[in-house]
Structure 1
Amino acid sequence: MGWGGILGFDYGVVQAPLGPDISGPRLVAAVANAGGLGLLRAPDQDSSYIVKELIKQTRALTSKPFGVGVVLDFPHERTVQAILEEKVAVMQVYWGEFPKESIEQAHAAGVKVVQQVGSVSEAQKAVAAGVDAVIVQGVEAGGHVIGQEGIASLLPAVVDSLRGTHIPIIAAGGIVDARGYVAALALGAHGVCLGTRFVASEESNAHPLYKQKLVEASNGDTVYTSLFGRARWPGAPHRVIKTPFYLKWKDELRDDENELQQPSIGQTIVYGQGKVVSRFSGMAPNQSARGHVENMVMYAGAGVGLIKDIQPAAMQAAHYNYGLKHGLSPRIRKMTFPTIQ
């Protein structure tokens, strides 16, 4: 699998589900058309209508398979049912356990299940329940971070614990280029899951200022925090850019305070619904965001300093493998990686 695809896709590149609607149909279709696994982000509210509409819009842009990411910490019964009824290729689940019975229902509908995990024990539980692959998320990842350990130590530990299961293992956390892909392969992964790099793509639904901040960021410009979205998603730490807003307020919010007690800093439209964005809200600014966008949360992984431009998603999905095969030095290409046979 090393240089090739996973789960039947042409390439071992997965585009992470980016919320609330950053990875919309346009981005997911672009990744799918390039041979990678693109993932829509299911809405936080349990809605079969919204999910089916997102799938419909994506299918209008691609005939290739794609998937949907579901946060298990939010209500999701109708959402999951809609995914199964639409028979998308992959359902990615994270932030919670997905029982064996639910995985069997997905398989009966022809849907593969990929679970994102942040520890060896979570990976073992997921595989025992019957998942088709696991995404191992290190603490370097942007957005909401379930992992508490660095990818360089967590990934090989998971690989060792799953040896003999033949389950594809996908690395996530701070990976933004082909060098990170090679490092993940050397640690035993079969593919990589990229979030921040795809936020900084032409097709993502992120606000232009958000994309600009990603390009301008340097190494060390992200932080692991729990400042944003405490009421909406309690107990969910996240990695964000150290914007001037963050640096001003990082020590000002008491432990018992959250975004519900804060003034409005703008407005946005998510899945056709108008929403007020309060200070410390966990909603990243999408294309429709208005107001003090610079004060809204901007999720980013620790590798953001390596992002220097806004690229088409296809360059990121397919050209990773081209770079691996043709752009690395002969010495690196001749190295033997655990996943390359």
Structure 2
Amino acid sequence: MGFLGAQHAILQAPLGPDLSCPELVAAVSNAGGMGFLRAPDQDRTDIVKKLIQRTRELTERPFGIGVVLAFPLPEKTFRLILEEKVTALWVFWGHFPAEKVDECHQAGVKVIHQVGSVDEAVKAAQAGVDAIVVQGVEAGGHVRSEVPLLVLLPAVVDALKSQGYNIPIVAAGGIVDARGYVAALALGAQGVCLGTRFVATPECIAHPLYKKKMVEAGVSDTEYTDVYGRLRWRAPHRVIRTPFHEQCKNELPADGTESGQPVIGRTTIYDRDEDVPKFSGKVPNSSTSGDVESMAMYAGTGVGLIHEIIPAASVVKGLVEGAQAIIQQLGSRVDTSSSGERLTTMV
């Protein structure tokens, strides 16, 4: 199935603040999926332009860029994205009005809205977006939903169908392999979005210890919490239960933030050197130094199914070929004369 110009409806989530580097995005797009950069939340058009230009040097395939609507979208950043005519703008955690969607369409840019509830999905459809990503509570990083994907996804599918909307729906949250891909298709999605699985690739600039912790994590080794990064964005998120997290998660007062906490490391995000206080929400990238093991390590529940660091292209290939094999196996067990054909065309 083609998806907004990509060969496969396999999306790499915008990973903040800078883990969605051009090398990762291009690798996913070159493999037939669609990679997404993550725009800085600040007014940094210089960085946005560099990210887009560098990605274009690495791929001629479709790719996009994501913004978090919890922070005011700088008008200059929005205009630059439209001027650069990336394939798609990914918006998350807030309302993106029909007027903005129309501006994107006039510039030839598609809009993908990630949602965490049925109401959000309906509002996004009403605004005229081109695709909707449904995020379940199993997702890593900042999590909008409070409902498991197994329930939320079909609820969104049913709600949009009942109102006459025919918008591609992409499933996100806990999906790391072909089995999750096929399950999402069976629930009514037309594609899947992966974040955690793409962090555990050589192209991603996440810190090596962060990737190691992912490979070592078991299926119950993540927690839905709100203790990291409260000063900037008090929003629920899912992290790996590292020894630090288990020992120290209750030290922060319920109304407290990382302000005043000791500095445990340093990092460079894009071109700026920054301190990393204890309980900061800054995820460790390849430049990070200090007590990296005590920093936030975002991951979805599917991390327990990740056992090795593999290239992004191998992730995409494994999803496609694995899904096709599973569907064929299922077809030999049950009568899927129509549904089996439909699923096969999706992958």
SS at match of 1:268: strand
What's the offset of the Cα at 1:35? 1.0
Cα shift readout 1:81-101 (whole Å, capped 9, x = no counterpart)? 111110000100000000111
Match of 1:152 in 2: 150
Alpha carbons of structure 1 residues 337 and 117: separation in structure 2 relative to 1, 3 Å: farther
Percent identical across equivalent pairs?
A: 58
What's the offset of the Cα at 1:338? 10
Match of 2:313 in 1: 314
- Give the structure-2-normalised TM-score: 0.94
Q: Which of 28, 45, 54 pairs up with 1:48? A: 45
Distance 1:161 1:338 in 2: 24
Match of 2:108 in 1: 110
Match of 1:167 in 2: 167
Distance 2:319 2:117 in 1: 27
Match of 1:90 in 2: 88
- Give the structure-1-normalised TM-score: 0.96
The count of corresponding residues between Structure 1 and Structure 2 is 337
Distance 2:294 2:192 in 1: 31
1:228 aligns with 2:228: yes
Runs of 4+ deviating beyond 6 Å: none
Q: Which of 36, 39, 43 pairs up with 1:39? A: 36
Could you tell me which runs of 5 or more consecutive residues in structure 2 were left unpaired when the two chains were aligned: none
RMSD: 1.4
1:131 aligns with 2:129: yes
Distance 1:157 1:40 in 2: 29
Match of 1:119 in 2: 117
1:140 aligns with 2:135: no
Q: Residue 276 of structure 2 contacts residue 282 of structure 2 at CA under 8 Å; is this kept in 1?
A: yes
What's the offset of the Cα at 1:319? 3.1
1:7 aligns with 2:4: yes
Distance 2:178 2:114 in 1: 21
Q: Which amino acid aligns with 2:160?
A: L
Distance 2:28 2:229 in 1: 29
Could you tell me which runs of 5 or more consecutive residues in structure 1 were left unpaired when the two chains were aligned: none
Cα shift readout 1:169-217 (whole Å, capped 9, x = no counterpart)? 0000000000000000010000000000000011001000000000000
SS at match of 1:104: helix
Q: Residue 143 of structure 2 contacts residue 237 of structure 2 at CA under 8 Å; is this kept in 1?
A: yes
Q: Which amino acid aligns with 1:71?
A: V
Cα shift readout 1:137-162 (whole Å, capped 9, x = no counterpart)? 00000000001100000000000011
What's the offset of the Cα at 1:250? 1.4
Match of 2:22 in 1: 25
Distance 2:41 2:97 in 1: 20
Distance 1:331 1:322 in 2: 14
